[in-house]
Amino acid sequence: MKIEFQDRVWQVDVDNLTLTQAVVITGKMGGSLADWESSLEDPRSDGWLPALACLYWLMLQQDGERIAIGDVDFAVLQYSRAVAAAIEREGAEVPAEPEDPILPAVSPAEAVTRSPVPGTG
C-alpha cells in the first residue's frame, strides 16, 4: 500500500512482515496479528491507537529506519486519514476477481456441507 504522508509517498507491505517485526507488533498489541488487523479496522476499539502506531512503525522499518516501537511519534489523525485514503485508492485499483464459470459460487460453510456426489449428502 502506498501512503501519502508528510509530503512523500511511503510503501507499506504487511504481506512482507518479517518474524521479528511480527513479534514486536504482537508484543506491543498484546495479541495476535489478526487482533492487530481487526484493531486497525475499528477506530473505536481500544486497540486502534497502538495498532496505528504499529503500522507507522512498520512503515518506517520497511523504509530502512530503525527505531524502537515505543519511540514512534507522529500526527495520528493525519496519518490515519492518509492510511484510509491509501486503502481506498488500493481498493479502487484492484479489479474484482471474476467468478469461476465452471464452479458454482458457494460459501466455505456450504462447500464443507455439500456432498460431491449427488444423492450421497
> Model confidence over 60-88: pLDDT tens digits?
999 999 999 999 999 999 999 999 999 99
Whose CA is closest to 89, among 14, 18, 4? 4
81 within domain boundaries: yes
Return d(Cα 99, Cα 45) in angstroms, integer: 34
Return d(Cα 10, Cα 49) in angstroms, integer: 20
Return d(Cα 59, Cα 100) in angstroms, integer: 36
Cell numbers of 59, please?
512503515
Task: Tell me the pTM.
Answer: 0.74
Which residue shows C-alpha cell 464443507? Answer: 112
| Domain span including residue 50 | 2-113
74 within domain boundaries: yes
Number of domains into which the chain is organized: 1
76 within domain boundaries: yes
Q: Phi, psi at residue 10, to the nearest 5°?
A: -105, 145
62 within domain boundaries: yes
121 within domain boundaries: no
100 within domain boundaries: yes
119 within domain boundaries: no
78 within domain boundaries: yes
> Model confidence over 24-41: pLDDT tens digits?
999 999 999 999 999 999
